[in-house]
Amino acid sequence: MEAMAASTSLPDPGDFDRNVPRICGVCGDRATGFHFNAMTCEGCKGFFRRSMKRKALFTCPFNGDCRITKDNRRHCQACRLKRCVDIGMMKEFILTDEEVQRKREMILKRKEEEALKDSLRPKLSEEQQRIIAILLDAHHKTYDPTYSDFCQFRPPVRVNDGGGSHPSRPNSSHTPSFSGDSSSCCSDHYITSPDMMDSSSFSNLDLSEEDSDDPSLTLELSQLSMLPHLADLVSYSIQKVIGFAKMIPGFRDLTSEDQIVLLKSSAIEVIMLRSNESFTMDDMSWTCGNQDYKYRVSDVTKAGHNLELIEPLIKFQVGLKKLNLHEEEHVLLMAICIVSPDRPGVQDAALIEAIQDRLSNTLQTYIRCRHPPPGSHLLYAKMIQKLADLRSLNEEHSKQYRCLSFQPECSMKLTPLVLEVFGNEISLGQPKAVPGWGCSSRATCRARGWQLLSSPPHPVWGSASPLPPPLSTQPILSPVQPNPSPAGLSPVP
């Protein structure tokens, strides 16, 4: 009885190692799985089923103890059937003809349901695939993940507590003060985890003096040591954004006025979106190559920005990072951000909206087709909310930019492209030369920068690479000539 109980016990399929070859317990041939409660090959499986259904009675012509192998398993059916029972095969596991038919019908129905579900599942059209391919190519051509051009900007200067400066070499141990009489300011490592993103995380940032709410606050130049370097960085980034926008399908169909409005109003937002690629949540910094170009919160304060911008910017970067966007989703979001019909000053809002709708539909379809759950849950809505967050960041950036631009000493550290894109609210005063631009007056300096949009992107935007002489005094954001739609893309109605 004990032997019979052992032979009819149910083995656990999990006990078998998938990497170990499976052997039929009856004949030693390669097994295909568990059949009727035992590991067997297809041949012994079929033999046992036929024998049980026919209620066959076999007699061994020898001594009843034949050794069953792959080669001789057909010679003695009696010993083969006995071996099947010995290893645990049970006739109770054999389905009747009716049960077999029901199982086949169930399998067929399941296949039909899967086919129907697959046919109803949204798929990217050829046009949408081309849009994504064009935007990916545009991004790759206008974004350098090696940040090799950064070395040609004016060098980063990080001033320590003692008043000394460290050009080109950041010092993470010092705590520079943004206010003139404060002995401490933001630490370069003020946040160690995304879970600490609350107001208390920024409580140690002494960014201003008692009258910090006054927009007319005068900033000392010694406290803006990073402004020249970051001004070059932003200028370089604006140039790349312009290059990316030129390649958005439908952008060249817009009037020159609308192109200018869209670029001016969205430039800083796209820069913030792109900077997420270099943002790391480990220490809440932007790492662009080596340690010279690792930008912490303290570096941003030394470029003239305060907590009103920095806190929501860090929260935005953390939130965007957690979405784990695909590169395709990232470039579509940038394009949607640029082509927004609700920007103040646009003329042909209907055409802009049509272009944006095509991009939005492509993004939604991509998420449904290519972004697996649970990450795809409400992803489109979360991405659109990020665009709303960017509007608030844009507004705060503009406010803080005006505080800088109203001061001639600060505005002279900015580049012509920054002055053009972010506005012309520059304080009145005697024209001065812009360091590194070789210009005797502001008008001449700006005329050199205005030509960038209508010409191929300059390889490096910085003082180390002089720009060609001015051809005119027209604004940099000159019309981008329309060209035929890329192959396969239908014109926007």
Q: Are residue 288 and residue 140 in the same domain, yes or no?
A: yes
CB environment 192-222: b (16+ within 10 A), e (fewer):
eebeebeeebbeebbbbeeeeeeeeeebeee
Q: What percent of the chain has pLDDT over 70?
A: 69
Q: Are residue 265 and residue 295 in the same domain, yes or no?
A: yes
Q: Are residue 279 and residue 383 in the same domain, yes or no?
A: yes
Of 277, 299, 302, which is closest to residue 288 (Cα–Cα)?
277
Res 318 pLDDT > 80? yes
Q: Are residue 56 and residue 149 in the same domain, yes or no?
A: no
Confidence at residue 480, expressed as pLDDT on a 0 to 100 scale: 52
Q: Are residue 234 and residue 373 in the same domain, yes or no?
A: yes
Report the 10 Å Cβ neighbour count for 230: 23
Strand partners, 294: 287
Of 488, 430, 476, which is closest to residue 452 (Cα–Cα)?
476
In a domain? residue 201:
no
Average pLDDT over residues 103-116: 89
Q: Are residue 76 and residue 106 in the same domain, yes or no?
A: no
Mean pLDDT, all residues of the chain: 77
Contacts of 171 (CB under 8 A, 6+ apart): 158, 160
Residue whose tokens read 């370069």:
188
Q: Are residue 116 and residue 234 in the same domain, yes or no?
A: no
Confidence at residue 17, expressed as pLDDT on a 0 to 100 scale: 58
Res 431 pLDDT > 90? no
Of residues 46 and 411, the one with the higher pLDDT is 46
Q: What is the pLDDT of residues 151-162, one digit of tens each?
A: 999 998 887 644
CA 476 from chain center: how many Å? 30
Q: 459 φ, ψ to 5°?
A: -60, -35
User: Of 422, 444, 469, which residue constitutes the final position of a domain?
Assistant: 422
Tell me how many domains the chain contains.
3
Q: Which of 24-33, 111-120, 251-260 has the lowest mean pLDDT?
A: 111-120
Confidence at residue 340, expressed as pLDDT on a 0 to 100 scale: 96
Of residues 126 and 3, the one with the higher pLDDT is 126
User: Of 422, 442, 461, which residue constitutes the final position of a domain?
Assistant: 422
In a domain? residue 347:
yes
Res 292 pLDDT > 90? no
Confidence at residue 87, expressed as pLDDT on a 0 to 100 scale: 94
Average pLDDT over residues 309-324: 95
Q: Which of 27-31, 52-56, 191-195 has the lowest mean pLDDT?
A: 191-195
Q: Are residue 45 and residue 152 in the same domain, yes or no?
A: no
| Residues written for the chain | 493
Report the 10 Å Cβ neighbour count for 10: 11
Average pLDDT over residues 54-71: 91
Q: Which of 27-36, 362-371, 473-482 has the lowest mean pLDDT?
A: 473-482
Confidence at residue 78, expressed as pLDDT on a 0 to 100 scale: 94
Domain that holds residue 116: 97-121
Q: 23 φ, ψ to 5°?
A: -115, 135
Average pLDDT over residues 192-204: 44
In a domain? residue 332:
yes
Strand partners, 33: 40
Average pLDDT over residues 395-412: 84
Q: Are residue 307 and residue 344 in the same domain, yes or no?
A: yes
Confidence at residue 404, expressed as pLDDT on a 0 to 100 scale: 82
Q: What is the CATH number of the domain that holds 68?
A: 3.30.50.10
- pTM recorded for the entire structure: 0.62
Cα 3 from Cα 36, distance rounded (Å):
19
In a domain? residue 482:
no
Q: Which of 38-42, 127-131, 221-225, 262-266 has the lowest mean pLDDT?
A: 221-225
Q: Are residue 303 and residue 388 in the same domain, yes or no?
A: yes
Cα 253 from Cα 493, distance rounded (Å):
11
Q: Count how many Cα atoms sit within 13 Å of the Cα of residue 104 in the half-sphere of its side chain.
A: 7
Strand partners, 489: none
Res 107 pLDDT > 50? yes
Q: What is the pLDDT of residues 433-484, one digit of tens each?
A: 333 333 434 444 344 334 444 544 433 343 333 333 333 334 445 555 555 5
Q: Are residue 113 and residue 134 in the same domain, yes or no?
A: no
Q: Are residue 56 and residue 140 in the same domain, yes or no?
A: no
Res 208 pLDDT > 50? no
Average pLDDT over residues 71-87: 94
